[in-house]
Amino acid sequence: MIHMLVVDDEAEEREGILFLLHKYGFNMETGQAPNGKAALDYLKNRAVDILFTDVRMPFMDGLTLAKEALLLQPNIRVILFSGFSEFEYAKTAISLGVREYILKPVNVEEFCTVMQRVSAEILSRRSEEERNNRRIAYAREHLLYSLVNGTPLETLTAEAGALFDLGFLNQYTNMVLLEFNRNFFDHAGQEFSEELSQLLPLPFDYLNLNPCESLLFFSNAANRTDWASLSADIRRFIQQRYRVDGYLAFSEDFSGASEIPTAFESLEQALENRFFLPDTYVFSAYASSQKLNSGYQDVSSLFTSLEAALQEHNLDAVHRNIQLLCDAYAGQTNLSHLYVKFVFSNLLRDVSIHWAHFSEEELFRKVESIYQSNSYQEIANILEQNLEHPNMESHAPSNYVETVKRYISKHYDQELNLENLSEIVYLSPRYLSSIFKKETGYGLNKYIKAFRMEKAKELLETTHMKVVTICNAVGYSNVSYFIQSFREYFGSSPEKFRQKED
């Protein structure tokens, strides 16, 4: 709604203007001031679209008020209102950029014409500003998305630096990564970031990466923030508002756009620990980068090496990595025995999947023996015993990846995520994610999105299906999110893409 301030030292004149606005259907929010000084105080505290002011007033005349108002609010439209038509008034008004001058007594037709013209110009300017803001927001999101997904800063500068100021990328000093096991952001929609902005005490920029991941970017105004507490607050909000559990990781402080990709990788690496810490939901990228007290490799690297050894049936490497894991956990006095038993039970399950192929009943008995163990060495012995007669059946990573790709090609219209795809090929989510990226060069979520986008493109080109129907046909339940994803992938909305193809 347009906001207009009426300034005149005569109350009857002010009320007369307000009466005309109401009578002729100008739906505006209005304020009043009896003189220029009071009006200036009003303008310092409120955004005003139209300043409708008398010229001759005590304390501060209308021309001085107009000059000060334009300094405070450069986009304000000034309409001078006076019983005098002296040339000097008009000359000064023109020098200030004031184009509207109404003489007293008011000519109703002239008043309505001026108000209609000024109102239309204000609304037109607002619409243009909103379009520009949307274009800028989209450009910023695209640049951030490209940066965190590995596009070098130098490439972005060369391609977009002449068209868009990339300086905003250097303002960021911290990030928080949110991740879910299921498609959360596909259902939460745009409202999620708006609700979060009301919760958090710090401003942030929001970037949705895929249906399961989003990033929050904080600027250097966020120094000395307790990131662990802030992340815990976000997690509690999600739990209470959406009744789901999310995982969060907060970064170390960084400086400059060139460090954003590395900081993002550290956040993703930190969240890898959620597979080993089932009751932990907030992770620190700094803590996850620290070495274990025992002096060995960090646990994540050991598990990666162990999975590779199991896949390759390298018995010596399997024995060596199991012993390193036992030694590493033995040095972590802050960890509970229950947690460690849980981790090694999952390791035994990996042994079964890649190596020994136990029956479900047999695997359950072996897991039970781990939970009954009293020392790390007992757990190591159990694992060693189950590696004595491995099944040497080959399971090439490419076979798993092809199976997953075939499944995606047939079920892209259904919910797809790392967890349910890993169950299809009987792999752990972490291992499937690793071999899929290694074999294809793409992350699994990125591959699914690309496949769905290409299918959507095909439907736009070959059918007359509505956009909302295509949205559902390629596995999206939120049409706004589908349109946003299509625009990020192809550079235009589905409708514009179809028009261009036609």
CATH of the domain at 205: 3.30.70.1290
Residue 171 sits in the same domain as residue 215 = yes
* Distance from C-alpha of 374 to C-alpha of 388, rounded to nearest angstrom: 23
Residue 203 domain flag: yes
pLDDT digits (tens, 9 = 90+) for 244-253: 888 999 998 8
Residue 388: predicted pLDDT? 63
* Distance from C-alpha of 23 to C-alpha of 408, rounded to nearest angstrom: 63
pLDDT digits (tens, 9 = 90+) for 143-153: 888 888 888 88
Q: How far is CA 328 from CA 298, 306, 340, in A?
A: 8, 14, 11
Residue 403 sits in the same domain as residue 304 = no
Q: What is the dihedral of CA 412, 413, 416, 422, to 10 degrees?
A: -50
Residue 311: predicted pLDDT? 66
pLDDT digits (tens, 9 = 90+) for 204-241: 999 989 999 999 999 875 567 889 889 999 999 999 89
Please name the amino acid found at residue 95.
S
* Distance from C-alpha of 444 to C-alpha of 416, rounded to nearest angstrom: 10
Out of 73-87, 287-301, 314-328, 453-467, least confident range: 287-301
Residue 255: predicted pLDDT? 86
Question: 34 lies in which domain range?
Answer: 3-125
Residue 488 domain flag: yes
Residue 50 domain flag: yes
Residue 146 domain flag: no
Residue 409: predicted pLDDT? 94
* pTM of this structure: 0.47
Tally of structural domains, the chain: 4
Please name the amino acid found at residue 290.
Q
Residue 356 sits in the same domain as residue 412 = no
198 exposed, middle or buried (CB, 10 Å; 0-12, 13-18, 19+)? exposed
Residue 139 domain flag: no
Residue 103 domain flag: yes
Residue 439 sits in the same domain as residue 474 = yes
Residue 494 domain flag: yes
Residue 438 domain flag: yes
